[in-house]
Amino acid sequence: MRWNFLPQHERVLWANGIQFYHSRVLRRENFEKGGRQDKLLRALRLQSKARMCCVDRLHTRVSTWMKCCGGKVYIPTFDVCCNGKLFSGGTNCCGGIGFDYAKAQCCNGQIFNGTNSCCGTEGYNTAVEGCCQVKRYNKIRFTCCAGKIVTRRAHRELCCGTENYSRDLAVCCKGKLFKGGTDCCGDEGYHRGKSKCCNGVIFKAATHCCGAVGFNVRMQGCCGGTVYKLAQSACCNGTVVVRNSRFSHCCGKRTYVKRTAVCCSERVFERATDCCGAEGYSKGSQKCCSGKLFNIFPSGNSPC
């Protein structure tokens, strides 16, 4: 027969058995006549779209997605072909066997039903199991800490190195567990209600930081980066000065007692009671008029 005018894939279709189908409609001798080749070719192409040949079998094409699996046809949406074998309801192949990826997992060439991930060479269900290195474990009873399976205890949901702990009972700092701690200070743990971390150093009983030093505001103060004792000193304009009395107050860079002196423009005036501008005076012997001091006359007359 003269088939040279046909494309290669159509010659294969014809050779694999399509000619037996077409012989019912078209006479073979008509195909061999050169005058009718174009008409017969159009008919052949039309029929090849409605049929498909798998190995040596002719099948009706019901979908453009149809494929061959050996001598059978299938649609990949519903089935899977593995090494020439058809598996109904499959989505993937595993070691030459088809399986549904939504219901099983292929691990190391083996199918594990009811799993959705692999742990080493085995499948496991991530909803109830965990994978620690390459070992499966029950997530309700155990947990994985730094590659080690450890027993899960009540409220101990976190890992610190190979230990598990509760955040309410301890703190983990650089892989070390500190029981009773709440925060980390460098590599060490501490309780923020009992100590203070200042510049990477823990100060016990401190409540605040003064530069890189911790202090307790109930007994100490911070003055220009220097810690001082409240009972002994005072901070006046950024300078620590000696406190002469517990009633002392700052005036400039020194202290005074209000009962015996007055502070005017950062200057202390002993035995004065009030200020007149930048000067201190005593109301019993002087009077301030428009910012100027005048002595009170013995007669009691006011100079103002």
Q: Provide the pLDDT for residue 27.
A: 41
Between strands 122-124 and 117-119, the pairing is antiparallel
Average pLDDT over the chain reads 84
| The pTM of the whole model exceeds 0.95 | no
Q: H or E stretch including 40? A: helix 37-50
d(CA 272, CA 284): 10
Is the per-residue pLDDT at 6 higher than 50? no
Average pLDDT on 81-86 reads 94
Is the per-residue pLDDT at 9 higher than 50? no
pLDDT in tens, 169-186: 999 999 999 999 999 999
pLDDT in tens, 149-159: 999 887 777 89
pLDDT in tens, 271-285: 899 999 999 999 888
Q: Band the pLDDT of 299: cuts 50, 70, 90.
A: low
Is the per-residue pLDDT at 232 higher than 80? yes
Q: Band the pLDDT of 233: cuts 50, 70, 90.
A: very high
User: From its phi and psi, is residue 238 left (phi > 0), alpha (psi between -120 and 50) or beta?
Assistant: left
